[in-house]
Amino acid sequence: MNKRSATVSGIQPLTPQQCRAARAILKWSQVRLAAKCGLSEGTIGSFESGRRIPSPAKLAAIRRGLEAAGVVFIDQKTAVTKSGPPRETISGT
C-alpha cells in the first residue's frame, strides 16, 4: 500500500478503517457512499480493503461526503464533548 499523505486543502488524511466505521455509523453501503461522493463503488471498495489509496482529491471527496452526512472525525488523542472544548484522552496500555 502506498504511504503517501492524503492532505488536501487542510483536509486531514482518511484511513480505510475510518471510512468503514463512518459508513457503519450511517448504515450506508459502499454503493451509497460512492453515489454521495460522485465516485465509483470500486474506488470505495479498493480503498476500504487496502488494495489502493485513491488520489488526495478522491479521499477529500469521500471525507466531505461523510462529513456532510454528519460524521465528525477527531484525532485519536482528542475527545470532543458537547459541553466544552476538546480534551486529551487517557489511553490504557
Identify the structural domains of the chain with CATH numbers, from first to last. Answer: 16-88 (1.10.260.40)
How many residues in total does the chain contain? 93
Q: How far apart are CA 66 and CA 46, in angstroms?
A: 17
Residue 22's identity, in one-letter code, is A
* Per-residue pLDDT tens listing for the chain (93 residues): 344 444 444 556 789 999 999 999 999 999 999 999 999 999 999 999 999 999 999 999 999 999 999 998 876 555 444 445 554 444 444
User: Who contacts 9 (Cβ-Cβ below 8 Å, separation ≥6)?
Assistant: 60
Backbone φ, ψ for residue 29 (5° rounding): -85, 170
Cα–Cα distances (Å) from 15 to 20, 63, 78, 84, 90, in that order, read: 9, 10, 17, 27, 22
* pTM exceeding the 0.85 threshold for the entire prediction: no
